[in-house]
Structure 1
Amino acid sequence: MLDLRTIEKRVNKGDVFFISDFTEFGNYEAVRKALQRLTKDGKVKRIAKGVYFLPKIHERLGIICPHAEQIAKAIAKRDKARIIATGSSALNLLGLSTQIPLKLVFLTDGSARNIKVGKQTIQFKKTNPKNLSIEHRLSNLIIQAFKAIGEKNVTQEQIDKIQTIIDQSNERELLYQNLKNAPVWMQKILSR
């Protein structure tokens, strides 16, 4: 029987989980109904169809919801898919933009889909394997950030910020190795 104690033994507060994580306690429909009851009682929160989280409560802020990237990573892990943040998401994650995008776009080799999370939308866009060939997260974020900015729009301030990020990482050599797979114009900017 699926109850809150069973969930708490498996899932940390604030973590994202799915119906399929608990099907050993009953068939899919039974688990769905149990999670529906727990959601109605406020013990579990529903993010989207089949996607839940165990509430983490802050004394001043109340319920702390998982952030969109955490949700996207959990879905990718469940689906055994790779994802890369693109556009304004990559810029925000690198600190090149303070704007939190309402639509987060991730390239994936999994299923293309949109998931509504509150006021935000997480979009998974199917892409070719070449775009996912670099498995290093920071390398991917830098490449996607440059793509979002565009070759003609890159400022010295943005280059300096990315250079600082590279210098502060403990993976500088790996980063530069991975960035050799980036478009030539990005390689020229980074080699300056």
Structure 2
Amino acid sequence: MKRAHAGGRGGVFTPSDFLDVAGRAAVDQALSRLVRGGKLRRLARGLYDFPKLHPKLGPLSPAPDDVAQALARETGSQVQIAGARAANALGLSTQVPAKNNYLTDGPSRRVVLGKRVVDLRHASPKHLIAPGSFAGTVVQALRHLGPVRATDVARVAGRRLSASDKKTLAKGAVRAPAWMRPTLVSIATISGGADG
């Protein structure tokens, strides 16, 4: 419980986050006891949180990114927001999707949290360029919006990416589909942007 509290309310974790403390069976039993005692909440099989509490609404749903990160930690994999979420994160879309799509180099998994879905889909390395970074979000936003909005993506990303993210983008551009490469290279060479 100390470990769960340490991250504060809103933390999401799996039994594997506690395997340095005790064996799997003991961790599973302890988590079950804490859920029964109302101290933790079971979100799905092998997935728990220490929920944030709202004075009127009670326990709030965890952030989809926190759920995705917990699932990735469990399998030692990486995740990257994808699709409409990536475009939204860059401010290029006002659409807030009910389904939160992520690409991962680990196993695919879907978790339903009330009306929201967190969907991790296994992707090949060529689709996972700079996973977990803002540069990776730019690649996924570009993939989602397509060549028609490439100029918009370049304009926003050029301003918002740090110098180190631009370097990451330039390195990863060779693995991107041919139509994306010129845009990624142009973003990487735009001067200015956030401080690295």
TM-score bin, normalised by smaller chain: 0.7 to 0.9
Contact 1:86 1:106 in 2 (8 A): yes
Matched, 1:86 2:68: no
1:185 aligns with 2:191: no
Secondary structure of 2:120's counterpart equals strand
Q: What are the residue-to-residue correspondences of 1:166-177 with 2, within 5 Å?
A: 166=161, 169-171=162-164, 173-177=166-170
Question: How many Å apart are 1:130 and its aligned residue?
Answer: 2.8
Write out per-residue CA displacement over residues 137-158 of structure 1, whole angstroms, 9 at most, x where no aligned residue: 122111111111111x317544
Q: CA RMSD of the aligned region, Å?
A: 2.9
Q: Distance in 2 between matches of 1:70 and 1:6?
A: 16
**Is 1:103–1:120's contact at 8 Å kept on the other side of the alignment?**
yes
Are the equivalent residues in 1 in contact too, given 2:64–2:118 (CA < 8 A)?
yes
2:142–2:153 contact (8 Å) kept in structure 1: no
Partner of 2:45: 49
Matched, 1:162 2:157: yes
Structure 2 gap segments, 5+ residues each: 188-196
Distance in 1 between the 2:73 and 2:94 partners? 27
Q: 1:72 to 1:170 in 2, by over 3 A?
A: same
Aligned CA distance change for structure 1 residues 135 and 120 (closer, same or farther; 3 Å): closer
**TM-score after normalising by structure 1:** 0.77
Identify unmatched segments of 5+ residues in structure 1.
none
Shift in Å at residue 59 of structure 1? 5.2
Determine helix, strand or coil for the equivalent of 1:177: helix
Of residues 80-89 and 90-99 in structure 1, the stretch that sits farther from structure 2 once superposed is 90-99
Q: Which amino acid aligns with 2:107?
A: S
Shift of 1:101: 1.4
Are residue 144 (structure 1) and residue 140 (structure 2) matched? yes
SS at match of 1:115: strand
